[in-house]
Chain A
């Protein structure tokens, strides 16, 4: 069985002010090559200002079967959003 290069997750920041976004993954022998490969695979159409690479194996994720307890409790808490509060028109936008 052939040995694969490690898998890397690629994050790219498009323009100043926006945060890095996950765009996909690729294989590379090490971090520096992952950055170079990411430049060639994911920024050919003027998408990038900055690249982050993270070894996929280093990412800890929530388990899909814990979706309920993890995320459902925040579903019904509308008072945590700014639109919960009515502000009179006279005071202007807020």
Chain B
């Protein structure tokens, strides 16, 4: 399967991409919150995937994790500047957190019982951690980070269970998750249109360079 095939699948709507990209970024704090929460959630999955049984994926993950860690830290840095800044900045930070918290939880996928591929992937050790384990890990690491910023936790029910050492948290709205998967997120249509436009507009460029390379090759032979 070549990259061209993968891109064709994506552009035709056959391939899945992370549901979070179907949410909008609305203020500057989103630049911070996306890096911190989205890449932070991605790292939880990806660190585990460095041990996946599928070698090429595991190797790629090592480098990806370094980048994601950079993004998460850069994002948190932006959140700190804003949370400790003016009232308006703090309000922006809170707004971004409120909007992205639930979609970030959804990034781990539905609870085990409802996940289509999870059990099979776990059995093959492609997937190392269950959806719920990943989500718990993310919540446990992120809530203290929210507290440090002095922002409100978007989940009013969230609290530390002293016995288990884990935070208890509310489920996101899973019907929204399945709606977004079906293409009904706030930005699905725009995102796909942008990808298709970039690809279509760039065809002449890709073909032009290839044509030159082929001419050179023939000239050399």
**A5 & B8 in contact (Cβ 8 Å cutoff):** no
Q: Which residues of B contact A29 (CB under 8 A)?
A: 206, 209-210, 212-213
**B213 & A2 in contact (Cβ 8 Å cutoff):** no
Query: A24-B60, A24-B63 given as contacts; is B4 within 8 A of A3 (CB)?
Result: yes
Q: Which residues of B contact A7 (CB under 8 A)?
A: 2-3
**B60 & A33 in contact (Cβ 8 Å cutoff):** no
B175 at the interface (CB under 8 A from A): no
Query: Main SS of the interface on chain B?
Result: helix
Point out the residue from A3, A23, A24 that lies within 8 Å of B210, measured CB to CB. A3
**B210 & A2 in contact (Cβ 8 Å cutoff):** no
Q: What are 15 A-B contacts defined by CB distance under 8 Å?
A: A1-B8, A2-B4, A2-B203, A4-B2, A4-B3, A5-B209, A5-B210, A7-B3, A23-B63, A24-B63, A29-B206, A29-B212, A30-B212, A30-B216, A33-B209
Number of interface residues of A (CB under 8 A): 12
**A1 & B4 in contact (Cβ 8 Å cutoff):** yes
Docked complex Cα distance between A33 and B216 (Å): 13
**Closest CB pairs A-B (n = 4):** A29-B209, A30-B213, A4-B4, A29-B213
Which residues 21-64 of A have a CB within 8 angstroms of B? 23-24, 27, 29-30, 33
Task: Kindly report which residue of chain A lies nearest to residue B199, judged by CB atoms.
Answer: A2
Which A residues lie at the B interface, using CB under 8 A?
Answer: 1-5, 7, 23-24, 27, 29-30, 33
Docked complex Cα distance between A5 and B212 (Å): 12
**Interface readout for B1-39 with A: 1 if CB under 8 Å, 0 if not?**
011110110000000000000000000000000000000
B208 to chain A, nearest CB (A): 9
A82 to chain B, nearest CB (A): 29
A46 to chain B, nearest CB (A): 13
Q: Which residues of A contact B212 (CB under 8 A)?
A: 29-30
Docked complex Cα distance between A55 and B2 (Å): 14
Docked complex Cα distance between A52 and B159 (Å): 53
Q: Which residues of B contact A1 (CB under 8 A)?
A: 4-5, 8
Task: Kindly report which residue of chain B lies nearest to residue A22, judged by CB atoms.
Answer: B59
Docked complex Cα distance between A7 and B63 (Å): 19
A7 to chain B, nearest CB (A): 8
**B3 & A27 in contact (Cβ 8 Å cutoff):** yes
